Amino acid sequence: MGKVFVDLKKQVDDSYEITIGSGFIPDTLKSFGAGNDFFMVDDNVFRLYSDIMPTERVYRFRADEHNKTHESVVAVLGFLFRGECRRDGRLVLIGGGITGDVGGFVAATYMRGISFVQIPTTLLSMVDSSVGGKTGINFRGAKNNVGVFAQPKHVYIDMDFLNTLTDEEFLNGVAEVIKYGMVYDAQFLEYLYDNKDRVLARDAEVLDYIVTRCCGMKAEVVRIDEKEKGERALLNFGHTFAHAIETDSDHSVKHGFAVATGMYLETDYAVKHKLADAKALEDIKRVLTAYGFDIKYNIINKNVFFGAMTADKKADKKGLTLAISPKTGTGKLVKNISIDQVISYFAGV
Ligand SMILES: NC(=O)c1ccc[n+]([C@@H]2O[C@H](COP(=O)([O-])OP(=O)(O)OC[C@H]3O[C@@H](n4cnc5c(N)ncnc54)[C@H](O)[C@@H]3O)[C@@H](O)[C@H]2O)c1
């Protein structure tokens, strides 16, 4: 029997709970599996945790950014349809952000929406993607450009899943953790800097604190602005440049690593345009380099890179919107940035 140390109840809406603990998932999974439960499971997670995995109504999904597509959506819809999933069916998503985003989109659209729960298994999905109800897929090369907001009924975060993450996947999640510090909480950023060795050693006490703190911040932001009309958009800090990096590199740079570089470059851009103070740039650089993140990116194909930025869903006819951190621990949206301004910035770095 594992332990549950946090229950963030009804943080986001009336039906939404986040349970954080360790070692409790085997029992939770045993309690699932009635005739109307369907499971979409990351294939690697299924293999690593085969002893606790469900045996029936399981769709094994190969989580890969190239697979975050409408073809995958159709395949999972077909799985539900063939399994005679009805409107009272429930989709249980076990995996990282890709599984959660695709599966959440399927659940939100199958029969105009069935309920779903998220069981995130990567650091990134625990601190970010599983909470808040953004679901979606990449479409025609544009990141997350098709999707809906749909809240899961419950998010179950079992820290034990982190034990099997590779160092690279673990660090991928750390980037999103740093983002919370830059946008919302300067002290939290310093905590991450001071405790770098314990974070990287995956010290249980430190990780429990980090995941709980990030989920708390995310839940609060989503409570205020579920559909990303303002406040929530600040969590896109680093993401406009990051999505261009992911697309230009054909996803060889993973989401978190792209966000890390994006946070640095967007802050550098902001400082050069007098939108952020130099201390913010110093701070993000200091923390990212302490963790070993790359803060530079060599564009491979300018058309693809800048094309991805203009196709970004944060862009409109008047230009790009950047979520920046003008001062460490704060965030701000800057609208109507012309792509030409961004092109000249990249010509100079
Ligand atoms: N919806 C949102 O609000 C939101 C927020 C941030 C990021 N995202 C999206 O999340 C995605 C990235 O998520 P991710 O980093 O979790 O990627 P992911 O889902 O691809 O998982 C990364 C890799 O880790 C493996 N894995 C998963 N759990 C494991 C475990 N416990 N042990 C060993 N290996 C494991 C997977 O098989 C995969 O190879 C991106 O597509 C990004 O756009 C969404």
Q: What is the mean pLDDT of each run of 10 residues along the chain (349 residues)?
A: 59 69 96 92 98 97 96 98 97 98 98 97 97 94 92 96 98 98 98 98 97 94 89 95 96 97 98 98 98 97 94 80 97 95 94
Tell me the best of 122, 156, 211, 222 to mutate to test the pocket of ligand 1, counting ligand atoms within 8 Å of each CB and taking the most: 122
Tokens of 343: 């092109």
How far away, in angstroms, is 106 Cα from ligand 1 center? 17
Confidence at residue 301, expressed as pLDDT on a 0 to 100 scale: 98
How far away, in angstroms, is 296 Cα from ligand 1 center? 23
Overall CATH class of domain 167-347: mainly alpha
Tokens of 135: 């679901």
Tokens of 145: 């450009």
Cβ count near 201 (within 10 Å): 11
Beta strands 90-95 and 37-42 are: parallel
Q: Which residues lie with the beta carbon below 6 Å from any ligand 1 atom?
A: 42, 44-45, 48, 63, 65, 68, 95-99, 101, 121-122, 124-125, 128-129, 132, 134, 144, 161, 164-165, 169, 172, 255
> Which residues partner with 323 through β-bridges?
333
Distance CA 212, CA 204 (A): 12
Confidence at residue 1, expressed as pLDDT on a 0 to 100 scale: 44
Tokens of 37: 């439960």
Q: Are 243 and 236 in contact (CB under 8 A)?
A: no
Catalytic residue, candidates 68, 90, 213, 232:
232
Cα–Cα nearest to 247, from 174, 201, 332, 308: 308
> Which residues partner with 8 through β-bridges?
18
Distance CA 339, CA 319 (A): 7
Distance CA 7, CA 339 (A): 44
Q: Are 210 and 194 in contact (CB under 8 A)?
A: no
Q: What is the location of CATH 3.40.50.1970 in the chain?
A: 3-164
| Intra-chain end-to-end CA distance of the chain, in Å | 53
Could you give the angle at the alpha carbon of 328 between the alpha carbons of 245 and 197, nearest 5°?
Answer: 75
Q: What is the location of CATH 1.20.1090.10 in the chain?
A: 167-347
How far away, in angstroms, is 125 Cα from ligand 1 center? 6
Atom of ligand 1 nearest to the CA of 144: 43
Is 232 part of the annotated catalytic residue set? yes
Tokens of 181: 């510090």
Atom of ligand 1 nearest to the CA of 256: 15
Confidence at residue 15, expressed as pLDDT on a 0 to 100 scale: 53
Is 317 part of the annotated catalytic residue set? no
Q: DSSP H helical segments within the chain, as ranges? A: 25-31, 43-48, 70-82, 97-109, 123-124, 167-184, 186-194, 196-200, 204-224, 239-248, 255-272, 278-290, 302-311, 339-347
CATH of region 3-164: 3.40.50.1970
How far away, in angstroms, is 295 Cα from ligand 1 center? 21
> Which residues partner with 337 through β-bridges?
320
Q: How far is CA 311 from CA 42, 105, 243, 319, in A?
A: 29, 20, 10, 11
Distance CA 294, CA 165 (A): 20
Beta strands 17-22 and 3-9 are: antiparallel
Is 286 part of the annotated catalytic residue set? no
